[in-house]
Amino acid sequence: MANSPWISTTRVLDVAKGYEGGNGIVAIDLNKLDALQVEVWQHVPRVNGVEGLPYHRSIWAQEVTIFQHIPRDAIVGPVRMP
């Protein structure tokens, strides 16, 4: 399987915490992105069963994918964890 050019992000802090691997979490200003951004649930099949997992997972995670890179000025800064 090849590496994906898409960077997965979420609008939900609790979801981000679940994927945090020790490097911290940063806030991103989506309005400052010059890259294509996609809300996954709008572009995957809305079906039940295994084929529908990307749809249901993206709804749960409020996933927004960003194509290839996030400009430095779009990174607001680290998210402080309580």
At 12-52, the pLDDT tens digits run: 999 999 989 899 999 999 999 887 777 777 778 888 889 88
CB 37 within 8 A of CB 63: no
**Structure pTM?**
0.74
For the residues 54-62, what does the mean pLDDT come to?
A: 86
User: CA–CA separation, 55 vs 65, rounded Å?
Assistant: 13
User: 35, 34, 36, 42: which is closest to 59 by C-alpha?
Assistant: 42
